[in-house]
Structure 1
Amino acid sequence: MSYTTSIHVTQNDSDSPAPNTLLNISANSRTSVHINGLYYALSETPTEVSTDNMGSLTVVEASEGINGIVITISLDGENTVTVNPMDKNIAKLTALNTSDKVRGAQVPRPTVPQDLHYI
């Protein structure tokens, strides 16, 4: 399982992409991630990264379970955004607040058939 966070930076005066823009990214705890295909070790100390030619930044964090890191992104120390990739999953779980909703919950089926064997 992994969490993927996509960030798109645009110009101030339009919705045009802001290519090669330097951002500071930090995490609420030390963890390893891939940002635009490169390995980074994030922590509470901000790491400077650059958006790609389309003003995008893609952060992928491998996870063994439901827990993920909270990411903070800032541009020049201003315009700070905090992203919690677990928000969607937590919202789904907290919506199961009655016995009928729990009974009606559906668990996704595996995408790989259980009877496949790998050598």
Structure 2
Amino acid sequence: MFLFRRIFSSSITQQAMADAKTKAQSIIDENAVAVFSKSYCPYCSSSKKLLDSLGAKYKLVELDEVADGAALQDALQEISGQRTVPNIFINKKHIGGNSDLQAKSSQLKSILADAGAL
């Protein structure tokens, strides 16, 4: 019985991970800009402020405010190789985190325009 429960629970975990990966990839694919954030993170706030200052339209997912946030964060690590937030995608391409976005600030308006996010 214990072995059955252990196998069964790991398959639920695998299914939850597969669902989270599908959801994260859909968000990335369906939005010109996707920002995976946590509401209390100062680096996330900095990224959002920069995008807001440029008038960017972006999909924001606050991982600490959604039920499947931990699973989404695990899925993002598999998708992008990055576990930390913010985890930013523009035009389906992984940009990185806040320091990566800030480093592109001089060309960001052009990047966002090319992605159709302005």
TM-score by length of 1: 0.22
Structure (1/2) with the larger strand percentage: 1
Higher Cα Rg: structure 1 or 2? 1
